[in-house]
Each structure stands twice: as C-alpha cells, then as structure tokens.
Structure 1
Amino acid sequence: MFLSLGSIIGSGWLLGALTTAVSAGPASMVSWVLASVMLVVLALAHAELGATYPIAGGTARFPFFAFGPLVGFTAGWMSWLRSVLIAPIEVEATLSYLDRIGWVHDQVDMLRPNGTLTTVGLVIASVFMLLFTFINVLGVRLLAATNSLSTVVKTAVPLLTVIVLMSLSFHGSNFTAGGGFAPHGAHGVFAALPAGVVFALLGFEQAIQLAGEARDPQRDISRAVIVAMAIGTVLYLLLQAAFLAALDPAALTHGWDNPAGEGNFGPYATIATAIGAGWLATILYVDAVISPAGTGLVYMAGAARLSYAMGRERVLPRSLARVGPRSGVPVVSVLLAFVVGELAFLPFPSWQALVGLVTSAAAIMYAFAPVALHALRLRDGDRPRPYRLPAWAVLAPMGFVFANLIFYWSGYEAGWKLALAILLGFVVLAVNRRAVPPAERALLGWRQAAWIWPWLGGLVVIGHFGRYGGTRALPEWWDLVIVIVFSLAVHYGAVRLAMPPEVVGAAVRREEEGEAVPQSTAADEGQS
C-alpha cells in the first residue's frame, strides 16, 4: 500500500493545485472529482488483474497473456517510458522548490529563469538519481523501508497543510471570484486534467509492478491498490479546497491567471508565509525534498520491473531479465532506468514540460488494463480471482473510454509526440528481434494486435481536429461523443481478437513455471 500511496503523493501535491486553478479556477474541484472517478475505475481493473496474476511488471504482462507479445510490448513500452521519466520529473520538482529558498538560491544556482537546469543543477539532479539507483540495487527490503518512512512523512505534511490553511485563512468568496465558479467553462475543467490533476493521481499501479516480490500478493495487491487510491483521492480534494480558500481575495479580482505569484513553484509555502505561518513554509520546503524524491525512488523500481518483464518475454534484450543472486533485483534494468532518466534531463528540462507527455503515456498504459481484463474474463474466466471488479462487463469498457478521454484532453502536441515514441519502440523491438535466434522467437501475434494501429492512429487524428491543441474543427461536446463511440468500437473489437483460451492458459502456465521464452504451438500458429 505504501508503494502505491508513495507514488501517488509526489510533486503533484506541491505543484498541481496552482496549475489546475489557473486552468479552471474554482471549478478545478470538479476536475479533481472527475479525474478521481475515472482513475478509480482504472485502479479497480488493475486491482483484479494484479491479484489474479501477481507477477513483476504486471502492466506489461496482462496484455501479453490476452493478446500476445506484440500487444504486450506496446503496453510495456508505454508503461516503461512513462515510469522511467517520472524519476527525473520528481527530481526537477525537488530542485524547483529548493531554488525558491533564499539562502539555497544564494549559495547554489540550480535553475535558470526559464526553469532549465544549470550545470550545477544537473550535477545535483544526477546525485539524486544515483541515490535512487543505489537503494534499488541493494534490494526490495531497503526500498520498502525507505519508501515507508518517506510515505508516512509526506502523508502527514499535506494533512497538516490542509488543517493550518483552513484554520487560519478560509475565504468562501474565493469559490465564486475571478469570473465565477467556472471562469473557463467545461473546457477549463477538462484542460485542468492533464495540467496536473491526472498526473498527481498516477501511481496506484506500483504495488502491481512489484507484485512478484510480495509475500502474499493474491491477498494484498488488490487491497493495496484500493486503499492507496482512496487515501490519495481524499487528500488531493482537501488540498485543492484548502488552496482555493486560502488565497488572498485581492489577487483574484482580475481572474485566475496569477492567483499565487507569477512563476511561483511553491504555492502552499507562499500562502503559509503570507498568513503568518512561516513555520509551515519551512516544513513544506523540507517535504519538497522528501515527497518527490520518495516518488522518484519507487518509479525507478517500477521501471526496472517493466523492462525486466519485457526481457523475459524476449521483446527486449534478455540481459534485462537477469537478477542479482542475493537481492533478486533486476540490476541491469535498474541501471538502464538510471541512464534513460539522466538523458531525460536534457530534452525535457522543466517539470511542466514533462507532465503532459507523461500523462498521455499513462493514459495509453492504463487503457490496456480494462481491455485485457475483459478479454481474460472471457478467455480465462475459471481462474481464482481474490478480487473481482463489480459489474466488470460495464466498468471494463467504461475504463477504456476514460483512458482515451484523458489522452484526448492531454492535447494534440503530447499525442503526436507519444506516437513517435511508440514508433521508436517498434524500431527497438525489431532490432532486438533480429538478435534473437530464430528457434527462440515467439510469434508476435499480428492478428491479435490488429486493433492497436487504428486505435492509436485514430486517437492522434481525433486530437488533430480536436479542441485541445488541435484545429478545433470538431464542435464542442461532439468531440467527446466521437472519442467515446470510437473507444467503445475499439474495445469490443479488441476483445474479439484476443487469443483463444488454450493459448492464454498456456501463456499463464509458462509464467508460473518460470519459463522466460514462450514457445510456438499449433494453437499459436493458427492465431498469428
């Protein structure tokens, strides 16, 4: 539970309230409720899959069981890309907050005015990444202990912040100030989701990624995901309400473009200082190191388990699946996460620059879970399920629709960039496949993957003509209808293309028996 909750409470709570308020004003509360409902459905789908198939790197493996290696790789690549970028994002958030401390800024210049890292900032960021790597390589016990301690601290500090702000500065008029409750209408509510709301609530799946190292995963995984999501949802709703109510009403007379100070990356600390609670600001600055760093630590672990899972499937180099003889940790995968994280500091130099791309990648990653659950319920329905998604036949397609809506709201620019990242992934797959001896190559499952291309391509096309960074050719509200209808058509088409029950059962048995390379069978030949 701490692994999932520690991932949910990161830089999102420190930086998200301000960006969402700028997008939606007081209606940002609606954005949090909407995102919570959508992500709870997706979390419950993951909870059933994680408890039923408790394996490392689960978000890459569930689609593999249902649709074969090609779909499994696509899901795994999106999951890995998103996870491997979180650690540098959280380090960026830590440095952004530290740079606002006067004496720190006077001694060490880490950030330029535009938010990019200076040379010194890059060195400090690399030290954080090395620390994450060191803890991960030493084993899951140290990881769990370190994360548990940080999670306790970074859950207590937001609760303290809510109590202090609501006690010392509560202006109910703020909820209708600056143009009314929804100054930017429904568009603002939806635009706030990728601006920080969805990003803040991401992370519930981390317990699933490390399920292979849990003592009793079938009992605990679903509980961990559900409890972590519940705590995170309530906490973020309280934080947004406290932030809105504590703002100086005079700052809102001209709207919500600059409610807490231009360029300020520490809105809660700024408000705490203004209302005479400087001691709280000091605590927040300390937590600004603990919260993002703890989240980055866990995401590096999750990224390593995802590349480990794809190494086992032989869609990435087999060396990624090697584990330390004593720690049981995929060391090569951890080192790969460090290297890619370091590279991410160069082309994506600021916190906000990465959030949109990561939110889009998360939406695609999460979309695979409900469609895989639907297919596995039909193809592998007799397997014991410690947790069952209620009304799964309704909530599974609904979850797929929710994930696609989040992708659409993330904007066209993030969408087409992500499409290029997927194409890069297929190049990596092709290069790796050539290095695998022909006798050891599993059939990719082209037929089962036939829905991937129209789905991803269709989302990018809709985004191009859509109202979030596109040409705005689609009428308001009708754009959402198009996304919903398109998503349902893809979902049910994908379920029909899933592998037959005997092939699904064989894939799960191979995992249970510890086989790294799935062998071709007559059933495979007939379906690929």
Structure 2
Amino acid sequence: MSLLARFTSFISIFKIGIPILTIIMLTVSGFHPENYGHSLHEFMPYGSAPIFSATATAGIIFSFNAFQTVINMGSEIKDSKHNVMRGIMIALLISGAIYIVLQSVFITSMEPGFLHHYGWNGISFNSPFADLAILLGIHWLSVLLYMDAFVSPFGTGVSFAASTARALYAMESNQHIPSFIGKINHKYGIPRVALVVNALLSMLMVSIFRSWATLATVICTSTLIAYLTGPVTAISFRKMAPNFKRPIRLKHLNFMAPLSFVLASLAIYWAMWPTTVEVILVIAIGLPLYFYYEYRAGFVNTRKAFWSSLWLIVYLAFLSIASYGGSKEFNGMNWVHYPYDFIVIIVASLIFYTWGIRSHHVFADFYQAEKLNDSVTE
C-alpha cells in the first residue's frame, strides 16, 4: 500500500500540474470572453438539455469517480475517522475547480473568427486541448498533453486496480465467484489472482468498446446504477443497526440519501436511450453466475434476497421504459416532453426509494457483523 501511495502521489504531479500549466498557457495565448455570447440563447444555443446529457455521456461524472478509492482503501488510511471525509472533499473540490477553469479557458481562448466561421457545433477535435494548442501555435504544449493523456489515466488505473481487486475478493468471500479468485498472496497480502482477472476483463472491455467515448459512457452508467444502492443501503443499515458504533457518521443522511438517489436516477436517464437498456442488459449477464452459486449453496437466502432486491429489478425495468418513452432530447420517443420527463423520474425515484428502504432483511452475516462491531472504537 505504501508503494501504491507513493506512485499515485508522483502521478498526481502530472494530474494537477499539467492542467494548471494548460490553463496558464491558453489564457496567455488569448482571452476572448465574448465567446460566451451576449444573450442566454447565444450561451445555450441548443437549450439546457445538452448540459444534462453531457454529464453522463461526455465523461463528466466519470471524471469524478476516483473519490471512491478513498473509501475503498479506508481501512489502510491513518485516522480514517477524519481523513476519509477530508480526502473525499479535497478530491472533489480540487477536481471540480480544475475542470471548471479548464472548460472556461477552452471557451475563452478560442479565436472568435474561427468560432464565428464554424460555430461550436462545427468544431470537432479528436483531442480538444491538444488540438487547440496546435491551433494556437503552442506545439510543445500539445506534445505534453498527449503524454499526459497516457500518464494521468494510468495513475487512476493503478488505484482502481487495487480497489476492484478487493471487490472481487469480497465477492469470493460471499461465495458468488470461484474461490481461487479470492486467493491471497501471503508474501504481499494482496489478491493476486483477482488482479489478473481484472486485467483480463479490462482488456475484454476495451476490445468490445473500441471507442473511448462509448466505453466511458458505459462505465459511467454502470457506476450510476451501483450508486442507486448506496443511499438505500445506508438508510437500511441505520434502521437495522441504530446502535452500531460508527467511526464515520454522515450528517443529514435522511435528506442526503433520497437526494442522492434522485440525482443518480436522473443521471442514468441522461445517459440516453439505448445506452440505458444496454448497460442494464450487460449487468444482467452476471445473473446466471449468481444463480449458479446460489444453487450450489442450496438457495438458502435466495428467496429473501429476491424480495429484498425486487424494488431494484422493477426500477431498472422502469428506467429502461422511461428512457425509451422519454423526450426526444434524450433520444426517446417523446411520449413525455422535456422537462416534464424529469418530473416523472423524480417522482418515480422517490417512490422506489421508499420501497427500497422498506425492503431490507436481516441475514446471518448481520449477526457476525454485530459481534465484530463490538470491537470497534469510535
């Protein structure tokens, strides 16, 4: 873990330094605030809907996913009671500030004459900032940006390789994948086989989704579906174990949980038809493996698990139908016009959220967790 921490710290120099250098150089090359337009129509010529669709399809939400690493590695963090929350907030604030300023600089550094001739819709860059640097004559910066395009994701990839390996290890502990995948290397204390399996799955995903934009959209939507379970699980745990010791206690959870669920639901809808149903079908591919291991276990908890998760199964089906029949701005059949489709999603999400938090069941693992919690110090 110390090696991983040192490596990611080194990569962070590129992840933060290069964007800041880009901001400075593009600002020096030219500053044209008139590119924002002189009216709301010029500022948003295609309306407000593209703003929402871009968050899911242009990799914006995907860009903020790295905060999960702080949570997944929480047991390795010193003074996790305070540093986990600090790490999440610092990561989100720094990322948000850099992305907002970068986008602003991209807009204001574009030559007004070039923009007037082609329009924003006519500008198609394979690598936006590198191509803009070439357009402005800053060739050395474009080379640096192409190098950073490899180095920066590599740092994130290393962090996610560690956290996803732990996810596979946890799945093996729950007896839902082959036992050899969770085998721990005693010398280094890591699930080495899980790392190899993740590498193979990554290569498979890259070969299937050859376009980075498509792959980013699929990953983002899949992550958002996983986010649906977080708020429901958190509130369910509060109801099941109100007296558990919690070193990290979230404030205002009764408000934040439903809000998070609504926002995740909207973001899934913003991914647009047919991406929504395609991602849901990809997730469903894992069901045969799940039922196979439930069969090997004698279907001991299958009935309870089914009724506990029925809300999510029905909700995913609803989101697919809503995406298909939604407004044309999100590739739907326009049965429900924009922005009234948002109202439908918000109301439905609150209904399914209420169903979800009332569907929890206590399994045998809960009593083991209860004993383990007795040894926790707050």
For normalisation by structure 2, the TM-score amounts to 0.90
Distance in 2 separating the partners of 1:210 and 1:510: 23
CA separation in 1, counterparts of 2:295 and 2:76?
32
**3-state SS of 2:251 partner:** coil
Unmatched segments (≥5 aa) in structure 1: 1-139, 514-528
Distance across 2 between alignment mates of 1:223 and 1:460: 36
- SS of residue in 2 equivalent to 1:192: helix
Q: 1:345 is paired with a residue of what secondary structure? A: helix
CA contact (8 A) 2:19 2:102 kept: yes
Quick one: which of 22, 29, 34 aligns to 1:173? 34
- Percent of aligned pairs sharing the same letter: 26
Aligned partner of 1:456 among 306, 316, 321: 316
1:472-483 map, 5 Å: 472-483=334-345
Match of 1:403? 264
Contact 2:206 2:215 in 1 (8 A): no
Q: What code does the residue aligned with 1:394 have?
A: F
**1:445 aligned partner:** 305
| Alignment partner of 1:206 is 2:66 | no
Whichever residue aligns with residue 199 of structure 1, its letter is F
Alpha-carbon distance in 2 for matches of 1:289, 1:423: 32
2:45: which partner in 1?
Answer: 183
Aligned residue for 1:455, secondary structure, equals helix
| 2:217 counterpart of 1:356 | yes
1:149 Cα shift?
A: 0.7
**Residues 270-321 of structure 1, C-alpha deviation per residue, up to 9 Å, x if partnerless?**
2223334333223222212211211222222222111111111112222222
Q: 1:295 to 1:335 in 2, by over 3 A?
A: same
The answer (yes or no) to whether the contact 2:232–2:357 under 8 Å persists in 1 is yes
SS at match of 2:43: coil
| Pairing partner for 2:102 from 229, 239, 245 | 239
Per the alignment, residue 255 of structure 1 pairs with 119
Q: Give the residue type in structure 1 aligned to 2:19.
A: P
CA contact (8 A) 1:210 1:302 kept: yes
Question: Does structure 2 conserve the Cα–Cα contact (< 8 Å) formed by 1:401 and 1:488?
Answer: yes
Q: Deviations 1:87-120 (Å, cap 9, x if unpaired)?
A: xxxxxxxxxxxxxxxxxxxxxxxxxxxxxxxxxx
Contact kept, 8 Å, 2:180 with 2:193, in 1: the verdict is: yes
Are the equivalent residues in 2 in contact too, given 1:304–1:337 (CA < 8 A)? Answer: yes
Three-state SS of the structure 2 residue aligned to 1:445 is helix
- The match for 1:91 is none
One-letter code of the match for 1:187?
A: A
Quick check: 1:229 aligned with 2:88?
A: no
Maintained 8 Å contact 1:363/1:406: yes
**Cα offsets for 1:24-55 (capped at 9, x unmatched):** xxxxxxxxxxxxxxxxxxxxxxxxxxxxxxxx
Residues in 1 aligned to 2:249 and 2:370: alpha-carbon distance in whole angstroms: 21
CA apart distance, 1:236: 0.8
Offset at 1:503?
6.1
Q: 1:301 to 1:369 in 2, by over 3 A?
A: same
Displacement of 1:442 = 4.9
**Count of aligned positions:** 369
Structure-to-structure mapping, 1:334-349, within 5 angstroms: 334-349=195-210
Q: Distance in 1 between matches of 2:307 and 2:292?
A: 21
For 1:512 and 1:492, the matched residues in 2 are separated by 27
Which residue of 146, 157, 171 maps to 2:18? 157
Once the two structures are TM-superposed, the CA of residue 216 in structure 1 deviates from its matched residue by 4.0
One of 353, 357, 373 as aligned partner of 1:495: 357
Could you tell me how far apart the structure 1 residues matched to 2:310 and 2:128 are?
47
Whether the 8 Å contact between 2:245 and 2:373 is mirrored in structure 1 is no
Higher deviation after alignment, 203-212 or 391-400: 203-212
Equivalents in 2 of 1:342, 1:351: separation in Å?
Answer: 13
Note the C-alpha offset of 1:158.
0.6
- CA distance in 2: counterparts of 1:485 and 1:323, whole angstroms: 45
Distance in 1, matches of 2:11 and 2:84, equals 20
Cα–Cα, structure 1 residues 492 and 336, in superposed 2: closer, same or farther, change >3 Å? same
Work out the CA distance in 1 between the residues paired with 2:82 and 2:188: 24
Q: Which has the higher contact order (CA 8 A, sep 6+)?
A: 1
> What code does the residue aligned with 2:269 have?
Y
For 2:344 and 2:251, locate their aligned partners in 1 and report how far apart those are by CA, in whole Å. Answer: 27
- Shifted more, 171-180 versus 293-302: the winner is 171-180
RMSD over aligned Cα atoms: 2.4
State the distance in 1 between where 2:286 and 2:100 align. Answer: 36
Map of 1:322-337 to 2, 5 A cutoff? 322-337=183-198
* Unaligned stretches of 5+ residues in structure 2: none
Q: Secondary structure at the match of 1:205?
A: helix
- The match for 1:485 among 347, 368, 377 is 347
Structure 1 pair 177/243, CA: closer, same or farther in 2 (3 Å)? farther
Q: Partner amino acid for 2:103?
A: Q
Question: Deviation string for 1:340-378 (max 9, x for gaps)?
Answer: 111122221110121221111111111211111122222
Output the CA distance in 1 between the equivalents of 2:23 and 2:247.
36
